[in-house]
Each structure stands twice: as structure tokens, then as C-alpha cells.
Amino acid sequence: MPTIILQTSVKCTDKQKNILAKELSKICAAQLNKPETYVMSIVRDDVTVFFGGKTKQAAMLEVSSIGGLNPTVNAAFSKAICEFLSESIKIDSDCVYINFTNIKGENWGWNSKTFA
């Protein structure tokens, strides 16, 4: 049920997008201590980003989960994501925003039902 969505101004090849999606899935599972079989990762590249008054290389990520998120986890998660994006697609950490959202099970649908 965890989902991680990356939107970045960096234009990526299909191979890069697949690598990003795969690695973000692994990071998400590890940080939340949840099975990767339930993680969905989405990569949207080449989006227009206006950040700090300029158009620049940047990224916005959304992390949603039913439980598992808290201040300690979020800080470690943020560090792992920023390090990965810096290494993989050369985005500076100060150009990355991450939105962490805990969602109640009854508000998350899957397989014709919810996690209530």
C-alpha cells in the first residue's frame, strides 16, 4: 500500500525511469519496513518546475502509507531519497520537496475493497 511518486524536471530515458522507480520502491519498503510487494512507485520526468524564483533541476515527491510514517522515519526517508536523487540524476538536496502522508486504511482502496 505504500506509494511513492516522483515528479522531476530532469528528462530521463526509459531505462533511467525504470531504475528510478525500482530504487525508489526499494527505499520506500526499507524505510517503512514494509514488504516491497505492496509498494507502488511512479516516476514523472520532464515536468516544468519553478523553484526559488527560477526554473531549475528539482523534484517533488509524495510518499503515502497506511501507518509507518513518523518524524524519525520521515527524516531518515528524506535523507535516503535526497542522497539517491543527488547520485542518480544530480538534483541538489535543497531542490527536493517531499510530502509524507499517513492515510487511514478505510481511505485506501485496493483489489475491489479497502484496507479497513
Active site residues: 2
Residue with cell 528539482: 58
Cβ proximity of 106 and 97 under 8 Å: no
Cβ proximity of 38 and 74 under 8 Å: no
